Structure 1
Amino acid sequence: MARTHHQSLACLSVALTPKKTLLIGAGKIAAQKARAMDKVGFAYEVMAQEICDAFFADKPVVVMPFDPLHVKGFEVVIDATGNPEVAKELVALKQAHGFLLNVVDVPPLCDFYFSALCVRGALQVAVSSTGASPSLAQEVRDKVERLLPRTLDPLLERLKHARSVENAPPQTLRAIAKSGVGKVFLIGCGPGSVDNLTVGALRAFGLLDVALIDALVSPEIEALLPLACKKVDVSKQKGFHTKTQEEINAMLVAYAKEGLCVGRLKGGDPFIFGRLHEEKAVLAEEGIAYEVINGVSSALAACNAAGVVPTLRRVSTGMTIVSAHLRESRFNDDWVEILNKPAHTVVVLMAQSFASQIKASLLRAGISPVLPALFVSNIDREGECVIAGCVEDLDKMSALAPRPAVLILGESVGDAYRMTDDPLRSFAHSRFAILGKPPRVLGQHSS
């Protein structure tokens, strides 16, 4: 760190080989500096009037008041005492002894500053605020750590070999480096409401250069992306695909290999029928770093919106989440026998266009035609509503339900809307009710 004749500060990164270092102080601030040196394997000795932080309990500390003679022979001295008199003495001593001095939190007296370090093997990223705000430096460091792949050693070895053995030109080296620092976030954005976004999703949004956005990601959530983030519509709806899955996979790879931070924004949770495995497999095969961020599944948000407790004691001992939709728009009914289990709730995603087939399959499997059912539409969005009915009404209910909608089947549905002591009978009589919120339940099961 050097000061010009205008007293402005400029950062110059210098590879500092291990120096004989003295740390003065053994309190909380000294412990922070000691941890920073430990992180990069920098040896040091500690001198303090007393040990005030547990970090130094198992480290050798020379316990004594500050003695100017003790700095002799040290090449770096760090004053973490907070004592102005000690700092004043060290400033007077450094010219005679030739050591570099850092007085913690007093930038004008420092010959160098500690940086917030992001370490990825041999690669180190140092963030400095020239002593003005260590907190800001740490925040920026944390953002860099989130952005970079967890390991860069293989990339460094590849670049080292290409540079020294293959004598690759600079543009080739830069292309290799760029392709190795890209990262993909596979982000679950929940069913629609901003309130359902996780903190992890919001943090990832702030890093994105490009976002590939599904149809079920709401405009309110999309509006939270940085203004500079490129937004790409990759909607996939029944009968209409803006991009095929193969095209989406190729885009993830291509953008990441440009060194960009890429977000794949999905409705609900990526693990629940979100084609997550295919995208992870492609990224892993290409050696691209990725991180998966969970979201609130529409299956659970639908239950919440409709007031249905899918694992209500004595009514439903378990729940199963299934999809009625397979690839190439094929109908899936392998799950219908599950409803022959006593006390079970089934949540069916992508069911609306197959309502007639679901009804027929359920009746063939011997499921009661008056088993309660709900379509929950526009979950956590404007126009949210619940269409109440029974198995024998599924086709008619589907026609009433706005898209997108989730289907819930089981006795727990009837319990949520129970108006008499006979939930099935009352539910069958109130079919086709379009409900904004569950009606008041007069009787309750113990839960």
Structure 2
Amino acid sequence: MFQRLPELAPGRSARCSRCACRLERNNTHCPFLAPIALTISSVILYLLAVAGPLMTFDVYGRSRTISLFTGPLELIREGWGPVGVLVMLATVIFPAIVIGLMLVILMSVTRGQPSAWTARRFRWHNKLRPWAMIEVYILGVFVAYSKLIDLARVEIGFSVYAIGGLMLTMGITDATLRVDLIWQRIRGTAGDRLENAGPAKRDVGNPGLPPPGKMIACTACSLVCSSPYALELEAPVGPCPRCNQTLRRRKPDSLRRTVALTSAAAIFYIPANLFPIMTIIKLYQGGGHTIVEGVLELYAAGMLPLALLVFFASITVPVLKIVSLGVMMLGTWRGSAVLLVDRSKLYWIVEFIGRWSMIDVFMVSILVGLVQFGALGNIRANAGVEAFAAVVVLTIFAANAFDPRLMWDAAGLNGVEPSARQRRRDAERSPGREAAKGEAAKA
């Protein structure tokens, strides 16, 4: 829905008049200096996190100290390469890229020298930020620590405190960052290219808006462009004049890709809960542990908050994501206008909570790297962790593949031509059709 926003007073926010989603917020603090200070702090904390010890585990006089790299490398050594690479990307590589990109972007914007490369960097930062899972990893550390304290002595390294601080600095940076101001600063550098961007041209404030079929919004930087002729729904129009993102009115093959990814996630969810995610050996005794057994162990140990956290993140959330995506796809396929606002809010919830299910995967990587003492104490990863990691990744991809605008399109509220199924349903519900049915019943 195209809307013109007024100038916002400090501390005020603007919300969509149709679905109440927050569109923009004017923070009261300095828009760039505070994020720069927080980002520099994130750089320092990240270096401390990767350089320092994470945990030390002592069993019968034998000790082992691990770092952020130990768990992923141990998973790769044991043959669980995809899971090890996923943990390495989410905890080491992507956080470094996200922090570095943010620092470069803020420095170029504050110096008044944003370029086309600044727009591309910001676009990539926004894509990679959900995959930098520092917040989820620190919860995995807490769960791993709670499982180890009953086995032997565990010492927390200063890397854990650095990761906790990094979680705060990155979170506060996201909360205080004025994304709209950054794009406004970058907009001036793209102004000369707008008229030469092919069929897409920026709407520069003309009060007479073109029809919805001739308008297109960039999904990366939210720049609204217009065209002199009607645009197809999924065909590429060209690069965005501001950030170079390929412009399309809707995501291509959104429903089919979402159905395929959600179905695959539902299939992987079965072995993820039936197979053990790890095997724990202590003094020649032990066996496999599933996700449910891990929750029950935390509950039996009196750690009810952690037990509820793991149960919600690892068992409930994947099911809710799969069911929620199914509800949204079914409503879109049927062209239903029932609870459209609620379904839109449900989509943003699904997209937000997707990565929090990685708690168990991170916990296994920590335990596998830390407990390697042979028959005295040993923890190995099992097939369940790979299946569960597949569930998490597939549901994240499914949420990204789904286009929530299709729900409003199917209901006929976005100026998009309704589908043949919707036209038949509308015809069946029309007064003329109902009268004809009445006459047929009388006859």
| Structure having the higher Rg | 1
Q: TM-score normalized by structure 1?
A: 0.18
Q: TM-score when scaled to structure 2? A: 0.19
Kindly indicate which of the two structures has a greater share of residues assigned to strand: 1
Which structure carries more relative contact order (alpha carbon 8 Å, separation 6+)? 2
**Larger relative helix fraction:** 2
